Amino acid sequence: MQNIGLSPTNTVGDGSGVLFNCVSVIGNEFSRQPDLAYTLAGTYRAPLANTDWNMVARLDYRNSGEQWIDDTNIMALPVTETLNASINFRNDNWDFRLYARNLTDNNTPRIAQHGTDYNQGGMGAKNFHLLPRDPKELGASLSYRF
The pTM score is 0.72
d(CA 131, CA 104): 18
pLDDT digits (tens, 9 = 90+) for 107-146: 988 888 777 777 766 666 677 778 888 999 999 999 999 9
pLDDT digits (tens, 9 = 90+) for 29-82: 998 899 899 999 999 999 998 999 999 999 999 999 999 988 888 889 999 999
Residue ranges of the domains in the chain? 30-144
**What is the pLDDT, as a whole number, of residue 2?**
47
Longest dimension (CA), the chain: 83
**What is the pLDDT, as a whole number, of residue 79?**
93
User: Are 9 and 24 contacting, i.e. CB atoms less than 8 angstroms apart?
Assistant: yes
Q: Find, among 38, 113, 121, 142, the residue nearest to 82 by Cα.
A: 38
